[in-house]
Amino acid sequence: MNATQITLLRQHLTNTLITPPSETRRLFHGRGRCWEGLEHITVDWLQGIVLVCLFREPPDDQLKALQAMLQQLIESDEWQGSGAHSLFLQQRYLPDSPIQCLVGELPEEWIIEEDGLRYLLDLGRKQNTGLFLDMRLGRRWVRDNAKDQRVLNLFAYTCGFSIAALAGDAEHVVNLDMAKAALARGRENHRLNEHDLSKVSFLGHELFKSWGKVKRHGPYDLIIIDPPSFQKGSFALTRDYQKILRRLPELLSPEGSVLACVNDPDIDSDFLIKGMASEAPELHFERRLDNPPEFPDVSPEGGLKVLLFRRG
């Protein structure tokens, strides 16, 4: 991250702040490896808050140069006209991912919008904010296809897919995640959108010990699988994904669909396509959903993979 690259980042951010997004969006996605030297940086627009994340520790001189550039950005006319009021720098490479406030103060909670839906974010207390922005088009697809569907949302986290499904008039959504605090935030997100909570179930269990509970709520018309690449003590993607795929036929309705996701740059779409063909051959690959344009990647298989399968 030399001076030229930091200047390039400044120019990119300045241009985006001239006409900032009306909703939450990523402003700069260095992790797609399209900008040499900036692969460890992302910048998100959280509707008045700009969140800069560093995923690798830079040398001290480079960190100071980055901080100086961001301070100059805060003082620019483009910043003043954008409506931004806070800029935070999060060091994701350190334990607990601490946040430095370059301007503004960390709010205890922050509400953002995506496709007209509202989500409550955590800033400064956890590594992730509570909503993965690269899944925006996946949530939109669910909203557009959830009408009258019974939906199973595995690895639900803060229930982003569930919010989208209820907004699309789903009949019922079952959210499963072993992190009960994340599910509690999901419940708050539903309330924030004035959803009927009688249409939502929250199962705070480890998936591989809870197949019976999951099955009792089925069969499902749509199953969403969006796991972490690794969750200590409970899930490793390359080891455990097949265990889920082979259970799908007993959970899915006769004409049901599966939205299966992988967000590991080292694992390509074939991992899911071949895995499904082996473990649940009655489910056929239909297509891969696009990623949002603000998440460019030097390799089509390097970014998020969201694949649609249908039964029959």
- Digit-coded pLDDT (tens) for 135-155: 999 999 999 999 999 999 999
Identify whether the C-beta of residue 45 lies closer than 8 Å to the C-beta of residue 54.
Answer: no
- The three-point CA angle 287-292-298 to 5° equals 85
**What pairing do the DSSP bridges indicate for beta strands 86-91 and 99-103?**
antiparallel
Q: Is 179 exposed, middle or buried (0-12, 13-18, 19+ CB in 10 A)?
A: middle
What is the C-alpha separation between 310 and 261, in angstroms, rounded? 14
Q: What is the pLDDT of residue 232?
A: 64
pLDDT digits (tens, 9 = 90+) for 215-227: 999 899 999 999 9
Q: What is the pLDDT of residues 232-281, one digit of tens each?
A: 666 788 889 999 999 999 999 999 999 999 999 999 999 999 999 999 99
- Bridge partners of residue 257, in order along the sequence: 222, 310
Q: Which two tokens stand for residue 123?
A: 């800033």
Collapsing DSSP to helix, strand or coil, 222 comes out as strand
Nearest to 20 by CA among 77, 75, 70, 82: 82
H-helix or E-strand spanning residue 114 = strand 110-114
Q: Which of 125, 101, 120 is nearest to 109 (CA)?
A: 120
For residue 216, the model assigns a pLDDT of 92
DSSP H or E run through 172: strand 172-176
- Per-residue pLDDT at 110: 94
Domains of the chain: 3-106 (3.30.750.80), 133-311 (3.40.50.150)
Backbone angles phi, psi at 238, to 5 degrees: -70, -20
Q: pTM of the prediction?
A: 0.94
Fill in the amino acid letter for 48. G
Mean pLDDT value of segment 201-208: 92
